[in-house]
Structure 1
Amino acid sequence: MTSERQQPPPGHQFGDRPPTSHERRTGRPWDASYHDGPAPWDIGGPQPAVVRLAAAGGFTGAVLDSGCGTGDNALHLAAPGLAVVGVDVAGTALATARAKATELGLVAEFTAVDAFRLERLDRTFDTVLDSGMFHTCDTAERTTYAASLARVTGPGATLYVLCFSDEGPGTGPHPVTRADLTATFHPGAGWHLTTIAAERIRTRFHDDHGAPAWLATINRL
């Protein structure tokens, strides 16, 4: 994918937020990803890594799903009764997530909030999931994003980041290095990066084995 930053076409609406680096590169708002069938990352269910984390008791208290898309991860976490809030800037994805919750009889909140301005939620969370959001950020956005996450978490909160890794073959777009994670989530930013483990992310353009990924476990200082 080209690294050239393009301006969004005239007429696209971003509300009161500037377009992200991904939107500038592609010239399309995030919402457009959901207009012509499933988005590439919309696999019709939760990520296997998230399922395993949940089964191991990794999610407790109030849970935030940052960049929740159509809600499959959030709804998987809500099923056993966790209080889950999913946020995204793509209104079409959020509408789909709410419809899924109704169909499944699950209680979860899905709201339109910019991940770089999470303080607008006016609440804090004990556990945060980022499945596929971090690797869309450029270097400047990562710093802003880490600060945004810090504003909605308190000491001892846990953040899980599942993102494309740079260790191939078959890497996804915008692969992330270990150094990218450690440079973003460090004590000076209010975080302790506890572990970075090799994982897989499933997508619609990889086979069932998915793409190489990192699963980072990060704790709020």
Structure 2
Amino acid sequence: MNRPSEFWNSVYDDGSAPWVIGEPQPAVLELIEQGWIRGAVLDVGCGAGEHTIRLTELGYDVLGVDLSPSAIAYARANAERRGVAARFEEADALKLGEEPRYRTILDSALFHVFAHDNGDPTDYVSSLHKVLEPGGLVHILALSDAEPGFGPRISRTAISDAFGAGWELEELAPARYRGRVSEAVVEAEQLGLTPGSIVDGAAWLARVRRS
């Protein structure tokens, strides 16, 4: 399930993006603290830019990319407000390039967009493989179908099945993803959630190494 940039532009333009929480994901902060983010970093589907900004603050060589021009504009303004010289570019996650330039790729809430509802993440995974150095790591934080929630939730096997030849799945464990209940979340009322509230939902955290 891949949406055109116009859809992603709209949720930034009207402020309805439920993943814009004003801070990095706690699960990503743990990865940083544990030393799993190394070398040149690509923050793919960077959205509001929270992870790119934090990694830049910590001295990492990091680039945030997103398909949506509105997301990139938001991320750049976000970084400017904080006085951080973070780098952002518009890019299609299915066409990231042909040269292995990154040691680490961070995917926070993008993989499930391609894998949801029997979607096929093959082209996306291939794109990651092309720009990741041999031995480099992809970290994926994706919404899980392990419990009720909102957003494109996926199964454990949606991740494990996507990374075959050329990859080694080193870890795939339950985690939490922090989101904001926006008016656009149509399931909010059914789940008893209050618009504007911050919730931690079920997620998967995967670490995959390129062969």
Question: TM range, normalised to the smaller chain?
Answer: 0.7 to 0.9
Which residue identity lines up with residue 199 of structure 1 in the other structure?
A
Counterpart of 1:214 (choices 195, 204, 211) is 204
Contact residue 135 and residue 175 of structure 1 kept, 8 A:
yes
**Counterpart AA for 2:20:** D
Please tell me whether the aligned partners of residues 41 and 202 of structure 1 are also in contact (alpha carbons under 8 angstroms): yes
Q: Deviations over 1:19-55 (max 9, x none)?
A: xx3427xx95211111111411111110010111111
What is aligned with 1:200?
Answer: 176
Q: Secondary structure at the match of 1:167?
A: coil
Deviations 1:48-95 (A, max 9, x none): 101111111111110000100010111111111001101101111111
- Does the 8 Å contact 2:100/2:133 carry over to 1? no
Structure 2 partner of 1:136: 113
> Could you say which structure has the greater relative contact order, defined with CA pairs below 8 angstroms and 6 or more residues apart?
2
CA shift digits 1:180-209 (9 cap, x unpaired) = 1111012x1x11111111101011126545
Counterpart of 1:52? 30
- Using the TM superposition, give the Cα deviation of residue 140 of structure 1 relative to its aligned residue in structure 2, in angstroms: 5.3
Give the SS at the match of 2:128.
helix
Select the residue among 142, 147, 153 that pairs with 2:132. Answer: 153
CA 1:112/1:123 → structure 2, altered by over 3 Å: closer, same or farther? farther
Query: In the alignment, what sits opposite 1:33?
Result: 11
Unaligned runs of 5+ in 1: 1-20
In structure 2, the gaps of 5 or more residues are 182-192
Whole-Å separation in 1 of the counterparts to 2:69 and 2:171: 33
Number of corresponding residues: 195
- Partner residue in 1 for 2:158: 180
Residue 3 (structure 2) aligns with: 23
Give the TM-score of the pair, scaled to structure 2.
Answer: 0.86
Q: TM-score, normalised by structure 1?
A: 0.82
Task: Look up the SS of the partner of 1:73 in the other structure.
Answer: helix
- Percent identity of equivalent pairs: 37
